[in-house]
Amino acid sequence: MLLASYQSINLIYSQVCGQGFYLFIFDYWIIVQVSGLLLKFIKSLSVEMRKRFSMKNYLNFIILLAVFSLIFMIWIVSNYNQKDKDILLNTPNGKAVIRFDSHGVPHVSSETSDLAVFFGLGYVHAKDRFWQMEFQRHVVKGTLSEIFGEATIPQDKFLRTWGFYRSASNDWNTLDEKTKAIINSYTAGINEFLKNDNLPIELILLRYKPQEWTNIDSIAWGKIVAWQLQNSWQDKIENYCLRETYGQSIASLIKPPYPQDAPTTLSTQNLISSGLLNKSFKQVGNTTTLVKTVIPNISNIHKQLSHTANIYNISGKGSNNWVISGKFTKSGRPILANDIHLELSAPTLWYLTELDGPKLHVRGASIPGLPSIITGRNAHIAWGITSTGVDTQDIYIVSNIEPIKSIKEAIYVKNSDMVQHEIKISPVGPIINDIIEESSSNLPDKIAVKWTALQPGDTTIQSFLEINYAKNWKEFKEALKSYIAPSLNFVYADNQNNIGYYLPGLIPIRNGWNGKFPIPLDKKHQWEGFIPFEDLPHVYNPQEGIIVSANNKCVPDSYPYELTYRWVESPYRILRLLDLLKNQNHDLVLESMIHIQTDTKNSLWKEMKPIMLQTLPLDSISQKALGILKNWDGDLAVNSIGATIFSFWFQEIKKMQPTPTIELLNLTSTLFIVNQLIHNGEFCKINNANNCKQYLSLTLQTAMQKLIERLGKNEKNWQWGKVHSSTFKALGIGEIKWLSWIWNRSISTPGDSYTVNVGTYNDHFDQIGGATYRQLIDLSDFENSYYIQALGQSGNPLSKHYDDLMNMWQKGQYIKMKNITNQ
C-alpha cells in the first residue's frame, strides 16, 4: 500500500517532468537498498531491542525515506530538466541570451559583445555537461583518484608523467590578448553557473564538490584530445618489439606500408599547382638499428599499453571529409561534408552550438570545456576535419643522458592515504618506463617521449578561435599558422565558390631517420626544426574540383618531406568514397551527400570476395554460409545476414599469427591479412592448415560454430543488428552495474571499420567507435545545412535531451542548422 501510494505520487509528478520511469526506478532502488540495510540491522539486535523497534517505527521510517527520496528526485529534475527555457545572463560585457530549440541545441547571442556570447557558451556548457567537463579536468590533471579512490592511481601516475597540465600552464602567456579575453569570459560563464551549486547527479553520488573552473583547465583538455589522435609512441614500442623478436622482414609484413596504387588526398598535380615540388629540400628516411634484445611476449606489452593509456579513450578514431566545387553542384556553390569517428560515450564528445554576436556568427560542433566551434561554418566559410596519422612523437633512449630532472607530486586518494609520485624528465620529455609497467623490463633502461604538443607555446586554441572569425581563404590560412596539434586534414569552402585543403601543425623534420623505432638521443637524431607552414600539404581550387580525405595517406611519395614512417589506415573507406562521388552526376545536391555519408557498403568485401568464395566448405553449415555470401552485396545493414557471416569469419581470419604462442590480433593490420591471403603467405600455416585455402576453410567452420552458439541455427536470426549495436557508456560510471543501466544507452547499428558510415567493433561485435558527429553544409544556402551528434545534448540521464538524437543518428537523419542573419 505504501509503495503503491508512493508510485502514484511519482506518476503524478512524472506527468510534469516527463521522467517518471527513471524517477520511479531510482527511488525504488534507494528504498529497497536502505530498507534492506535497516532489516539487517534489526535482525542483529537482541530480542529485547527488537521489541522496542516495532514494525510501526519501521514503516514510519520507510515513509519518511520515500518522502525524502521523492524530494531528492524532484530537486534533480527541477535543476536539470529546464532545457528549453530561455536564459538571460548579465555578463561583465553586456547581456547574453540563450535560447534552446526542440532538440536542446542552444543559440547563444548578444547584441553588445562577442565576449558576452562566450560567457554564455561557458554557462551552457556547464549547465548541460559539467560532469563531462569535471571528469575531463580530472583526467588531464591526473587527479581521478580524488573522486574514484585507489583504483585510478595507475591512471593518475600515467597522466602526471606525461604532464599535460604542466605543459598547458606554460602556454597561457603565448596566447594573444583577444584569445585570453575570450577564454577569461568563457571561464567566467562556467563559474557563474557553478555559483548556484547546481551540481550534476554524478558528483552528488560520488560526494565530490568541484573547484572553480580555470583558464588552464580549458587549454589542458585540448592536449588530451591531441594526444588521443596522435599516439604513435605506442606503435614505436610495438615496432621495436616485433623487430627484435621476429626480425625486420617479418615485422614489415605484419605492419605493411600503404599500398602504392591506393589513393592519396593530394595528387602530384596538386603538389605542383601549390608549388610544393619546387622545394630544394628532400628529406631522407632511414631505419636506425639498435642493440638487439630478445623480447618473449609482445602481446603483454600491447595489452599493458592499451590498458594504461585507456583513460578517456578515443578509440575508433578516424573521420571522413570532402568538399565539392560549385562546378559539380546544382547550385553552383560548394558543398562540404564531415563526419568524425570517435569512441562512443555518454554523453558524446560533441555539443551542437550556435553563436551570434556583433562580429561572431558561427554554427557547428563544440567540445564542452573548449570555447570555440571545432568544425562547422560561419557566415562566409565552412570547414571540416579528419585525423592525418602524421607522426609528431618520438621515443628516445636516454639511459646515459644528463641532466634528468626529478619532480615529486602528491596524488590525493579518496578514503586512503596520499601517494607520492616521482616524475623524471629528460631534456626531450618525460621518461615513461615506470608507467608502462609490464613492458618496462623488456625495453631500454630509460626511454623518454618527445611530442610537439608538449613543446612550449601551444596556440592551437587560438587557431580554432581565429577560424571561427575567418571570412576567406587568406584569413583561414592565417588562422592555421597558430595551429600546433593534433595535425588534421582541414577541408575548406566559402560562399565565393572557392574550395581548399590544408594540413597544419608542427611536424618535425627528421633527416636521415624516420622515427619508426626508439632512437638514441644524440646529434644525429635531433629534430631539425619543423616543416615550414608554406611547405605543409595544401591546395586551393584544385582542377579536379573535389578534395576527399578518410585518414588515408595524405600525399604521394613525391612530396619532399616525410610526414610519417607508415600510414596506418587501410584505404577501403577512401576507395568507397571516391567510387560514390565519381558516380554522381554534375548536378549534386545536399541530399546526395546524405546517402554517401551514411553508406554501409564494404570495399574490403569487394577485394576479398573472389578469394573467400573459393573456400572449400568442411560441413553443411559452412556451405550454407558460402551460399549466402555469394549473393551478398557487401552492405552491412542492420538486417543483413551476409554481414554477420562475413564479420564472424573475418574475425577468425584476423587471428593469423607468426607462431601459436604469440597473439597478434591487435598488432596485425588488415592489409597484412589481405596480402597473406592473396599471395598464399606463410602465416596461413597455423592451426593444422597447410596453406591459405585450408586456413579459410578452418576459420569459416570455426566462425559458423561461434555464430550459431550466439544466434542459433535459424538463419533468420543471423541479422547484423542482433550482434552489432552501439553502446554509449557513461563517463566514469558506465561500468558500475547498479548505475550503468540508468546512464548507458544502446541501439542496433550498421557498418564496420571499413564502411563510410563507420561501425568499429570489439571482439564481441559491440560497436565502440563511430561517426559521433556529422555535418553537411551547402555554401549556396546556409539554411540548407545540417548536422547531428550521436546521442543528445544533455549529460543528465533524466533529461529528454540525453538521448533524443540517438534514433535520428542511427537512421541517418539530421537537424537543420539555423540561418545566420544580421551579419
Alpha-carbon torsion angle 70, 76, 78, 80, nearest 10: -160
Phi first, then psi, for residue 102 (nearest 5°) are: -70, -15
Cα atoms in the Cβ-side hemisphere of radius 13 Å centred on 33: 8
Radius of gyration of the chain (CA): 28
Contact present, 339 and 755 (Cβ < 8 Å)? no
Q: How far apart are CA 121 and CA 370, in angstroms?
A: 9
Nearest by Cα to 201 from 795, 805, 803: 795
8 Å CB contact between 98 and 330? no
C-alpha distances (whole Å) from 261 to each of 555, 557, 571 are 13, 11, 10
Per-residue HEC secondary structure of 544-588 comes to CCEEEECCCCCCCCCCCCCCCCCCCCCCHHHHHHHHHHHCCCCCE
Q: How far is CA 632 from CA 628, 642, 815, in A?
A: 6, 6, 33
Which cell numbers in the block locate residue 368?
A: 564542452
DSSP assignment letter at 6: H
Q: Which of 760-763's residues contact partners 24+ apart within 8 Å by CB, and which partners?
A: 760/315, 760/316, 760/318, 760/341, 761/647, 761/724, 763/651
Question: Which residues have C-beta within 8 Å of that of residue 96, sequence separation ≥ 6?
Answer: 88, 89, 108, 109, 110, 116, 117, 119, 120, 123
Q: Which of 165, 142, 148 is nearest to 217 (CA)?
A: 165
Asked if 790 and 353 count as a contact pair (C-beta separation under 8 A), the reply is no
Catalytic residues: 319
781 is in an annotated binding site: no
The C-alpha cell at 252 is 614489415
Q: Is 288 helix (H, G, I), strand (E, B) or coil?
A: coil
Give 493's DSSP letter. Answer: E
84 is in an annotated binding site: no
Euclidean distance between CA atoms 1 and 284, whole angstroms: 81
| CA separation, residue 419 to residues 150, 697, 783 (Å) | 10, 54, 55
Q: Facing residues of 546 across strands?
A: 324
CA of residue 756 relative to chain centroid, distance: 16
Amino acid at 612: M
Check residue 163 and give left, alpha or beta (phi > 0: left; psi -120 to 50: alpha). left
Count of Cβ atoms closer than 10 Å to residue 715 Cβ: 17
Torsion of CA 206, 210, 216, 222, to 10 degrees: 30
Q: Which residue matches cell numbers 551547402?
A: 778
3-state secondary structure 158-198: HHHHHCHHHHHHCCHHHCCHHHHHHHHHHHHHHHHHHCCCC
Q: Which residues are annotated as a binding site?
A: 391, 394
Q: Which residues are annotated as a binding site for Ca(2+)?
A: 391, 394
